[in-house]
Structure 1
């Protein structure tokens, strides 16, 4: 067989091997991509369930506090000592303070030394009180040194006429305690997309907060963010309190650790398998080329003289004959060369 034919076959085998490697790489990429998508989907599903549980518990806590405050409002009698009544109400609840504001804007407080004044209230607070005078109850957040919730319910007199409003303040601690029980680590924030109140924090909280503050957050966001080279899922949902949202950020590694380890292990094993296959194909190709060169040398080289063998010589003659080249053929022969072997010995005769 001609050497060029062998080379063509080797090239075809090389091309086939390259195509096979590319196919393996493509399948590996698709598998890894599918595994990562499945892991992200599982992470989003878990986060969505956890944040829904948070919202339900927040809503339940808010409604419970409003029901309790309405109960206090029904039992409030303006003819009694209002300050003492408010003080007793505070003792029976988790509210940090309770105030009664009548239609003339007179203020009574559960804190005897309170300096609570209607004129010092914010415009938003006054608007909520006005709505309370019209029979509307509300829950809203206040931001001062510490975040807190304020509840406002109307108070009705004996003739079912509104005689004022009952206001109660609550810290976020009861809410944060409920939320901590609802999520598996990560970072959870109460936010109005401007300010962020962190509830559940971990070692990466500062990095996470820096990233989400630079994002264009909006309601019902589901996506991925990068924090220190690691992907984190992010979910944003309404909290059920005016102007507030929950922003939950967590990673698959933290949330679905077993699935994360299994996915990453599978990816690493698959990449190692691809590398081993590529290495084996390269080694097989190099061995094939080397073996072919050695076989070609054995077939086409005369072991004694180092010149082309008679078989190769015959091939070359045919090639030149087909090309119609002008050439001369000279044949030499040493007669009775065996006497040289007898006189000089085989080694010397071979050298000659």
Structure 2
């Protein structure tokens, strides 16, 4: 990215920071709202609990009054006081003792009398002449229920009173009702407490229309109002009709109103008597004043912090904006050369590859750069690196770019895809770099290595990461030479080296896991057309089921010496199969096993073979050891000595691939072998050229072998014509795809040996 992009990023960062700040502010508001909501909930719960408590107190007072009347009614019933001439006097005394305003008794006929404090008793009072509320409650007692009236105006006090009434029984029969009136203010002491809501709330008693029955001293509103729904009591935050309807249904209510710009909460709980309601009023702020102060302090502190952070961000943005050029230089330029560093090069290259995958990634490296430092000094070496960077920069086309990664490593991204063009351009760059007067004048020759990988949509497209991997591989290949070398990445060669690396890295584990499998290829008797034997071949079957063919791993094993371990492994596996055939009463055939030169002359070779034969109890006569002709020709005497040792154990010896190397007929006559295996190349040439000299040579070799009493085997028999040819040349055995491909030992056993025994 350039400076403009950096500036845009800084602007985006600033925008992000502002967004975060705004989010913090919003989070603060949410936090305050959560606190407020929590306090609101706590206030509601507290109001509900205290209101319920006052409802209990009110009901307790009413129950107490009922109990007094019930006691008096029981005395009347048990003592037949209603027939006593002194009943009025007794009732008047009871009234004064219990501080009722008045007490009265009515028989079920509707006749009775009333005693009132401070007044003479009223005789022969007709119930139907009294207040409707008195009649309703007394009639209720005639039905066997306790009754409590709504408020009504008393005859003497002209104040609001209410009436209790209980039934009077004679046995099980109701004979009358005993009633008492009292001021509604008797509940005032219950409701007018300064401890309501911690002293900040008040309790009122209402009817179902919201009218005050008892209004405690109210610090909230000093207006003389009759109802909580009076507009002068407060500005309600709801529709009055909805709440009045709910109160008619005796539902609990919780709502808000505003008075003198202060929000209040009101909770209404049904008392359970005459549709009365207990009403509690409180201010959330007043009841939680301390908590609200803390919340306000936190909010102010939060705003200060947000403001401070905003200031720091703005100031930081100004400072970064002022010095962004210096930051860009520090972040994306090499401090020594002044050109791009590797970080910025990667960004540019990845972007380029994602948009236009065609191009060439190149890596330049100075051979033995450490000696330039040592010989000419650090300052001279740094001047050379600057010279190197300048020469690269002057050789680039518009849009191409490069960087110094570290020390003497330089990466270039070029737009050309033609290897010849790139070869020429890169060579010119190398020539400019190596012609450095300060060093060359002192007879020091600068050598360079250059690796390159081409991404081309017409051939092969690579990602940037793949190009980085491949260019280092190409550079390593270039370093294998000792001159100015440019090496282009070769995918096929790389794949082979990857496979070689896998093989050498996993060969011991594969041997331990028995991933090397025995395959057997039949060897046919050309005279009888029957199975005469088989050659044991190896296949590497990996754990995932894939096969690695011998051509991929045998040459490596011959170079690194692992072939010796594999030869013994295969020998033991073949002995195991022969043992299994013998155990199953299957007549075995002679099996040929290849033996490499490395194991053939090993000091423990004979002992190892004898140990394996002894372990499996297998006769050596069933095994033919195949030796390559090159092994014999290096040292005939030593070779013959080893053959005699092997034959003394009972093994047959075959010379494999005869004719593939520098065969010597004179040497052949000196070898004490049993079988001569003619290389398949002979047969391929003779099959394509019937009158060729190779046919004469092949015929001569077969006849010579017969005279030397050697069996002859022709490899590579693929057609009927091939078989007819070698049969005509009087070859003994044929081996090739005409008869069968190499088969897993299990399949060979089933298809050839068991079928021959009639067990298939």
Give the TM bin, normalised by the shorter chain. 0.7 to 0.9
Counterpart-to-counterpart distance in 2, 1:254 and 1:277: 28
The aligned residue for residue 345 of structure 1 is none
For the aligned residue pairs, the C-alpha RMSD in angstroms reads: 3.2
Residue 265 in 1 paired to residue 270 in 2? no
- The CA deviation at 1:24 is 0.9
1:237 aligns with 2:269: yes
Q: 1:282 to 1:70 in 2, by over 3 A?
A: closer
Q: Deviations over 1:163-191 (max 9, x none)?
A: 32111012223322123347334232222
* Counterpart in the other structure of 1:191: 206
1:100 is paired with a residue whose SS is strand
In structure 2, the residue matched to 1:337 is none
Partners of 1:101 and 1:165 within 8 A in 2: yes
Q: Tell me, in whole angstroms, the C-alpha distance in 1 between the residues paired with 2:239 and 2:163.
A: 30
After superposition, what is the alpha-carbon deviation per residue over 1:282-304, rounded to whole angstroms, capped at 9, x for unaligned?
42344345546765899xxxxxx
* TM-score calculated relative to the size of structure 1: 0.72
Q: Deviations over 1:35-88 (max 9, x none)?
A: 112212221222122112112112221111111112112323122323312210
Counterpart for residue 114 of structure 2: 109
Q: CA separation of 1:19/1:286 partners in 2, compared to 1, >3 Å: closer, same or farther?
A: closer
Residue 185 of structure 2 aligns with which residue? 173
Corresponding pairs, count: 296
1:204 match: secondary structure: coil
1:149 aligns with 2:162: yes
Residue 17 of structure 1 contacts residue 281 of structure 1 at CA under 8 Å; is this kept in 2? no
Shift of 1:3: 5.8
- 1:201-350 paired onto structure 2 within 5 Å: 201-206=217-222, 209=228, 210-211=233-234, 215=240, 216-217=243-244, 218=247, 219-228=250-259, 229-255=261-287, 257=288, 260-262=289-291, 264-288=292-316, 290-291=318-319
Distance 1:90 1:222 in 2: 39
Report the CA distance shift for 1:114/1:14 in structure 2 as closer, same or farther (over 3 A): farther
Query: Is residue 135 from structure 1 mapped to residue 144 from structure 2 by the alignment?
Result: yes
**Retained in 2: the 8 A contact 1:58–1:240?**
no
Q: 1:68 to 1:296 in 2, by over 3 A?
A: closer
Q: Distance in 1 between matches of 2:255 and 2:172?
A: 54
Q: 1:146 to 1:22 in 2, by over 3 A?
A: farther
Distance 1:142 1:296, change over 3 A: closer
**For the structure 1 residues 127 and 291, does the alpha-carbon distance in structure 2 shift closer, same or farther, using more than 3 Å as the test?**
closer
| Higher Cα Rg, which structure | 2
Structure 1 stretches lacking a partner, 5+ long: 299-321, 323-352
**Residue pair 1:222, 1:233 contacting (<8 A) in 2 also:** no
Counterpart in the other structure of 2:595 = none
Return the alpha-carbon distance in structure 2 between the equivalents of residues 93 and 176 of structure 1. 18
Normalised to the residue count of structure 2, the TM-score between the two structures is 0.36
Partner of 1:121 in structure 2?
130
| SS in structure 1 at match of 2:208 | coil
Given that 2:188 and 2:214 are in contact with CA atoms closer than 8 Å, whether structure 1 keeps it comes out as no
Question: Which residue does the alignment assign to 2:89?
Answer: 84
Contact kept, 8 Å, 2:148 with 2:274, in 1: the verdict is yes
Q: Which runs of 5+ in 2 are unaligned?
A: 327-397, 399-760
How much has 1:225 moved relative to structure 2? 0.4
- The answer on whether the counterparts of 1:133 and 1:154 sit within 8 Å (CA) in structure 2 is yes
Cα separation, 1, equivalents of 2:95 and 2:73: 13
Contact 1:82/1:108, CA 8 A, preserved across alignment: no
Relative to 1, partners in 2 of residues 1:114 and 1:244: Cα closer, same or farther, differing over 3 Å? farther
Distance 2:139 2:252 in 1: 35
Change (3 A) 1:179 1:231: same
Does 2:176 align with 1:164? yes
Distance change (3 Å), C-alpha of 1:130 and 1:290: closer
Structure 1 runs of 4+ off > 6 angstroms?
none
In structure 2, the residue matched to 1:313 is none
1:297-334 C-alpha deviation (Å, 9 max, x unpaired): 99xxxxxxxxxxxxxxxxxxxxxxx9xxxxxxxxxxxx
Distance 1:29 1:239, change over 3 A: same
Task: Measure, in 1, the Cα distance between the counterparts of 2:252 and 2:262.
Answer: 19
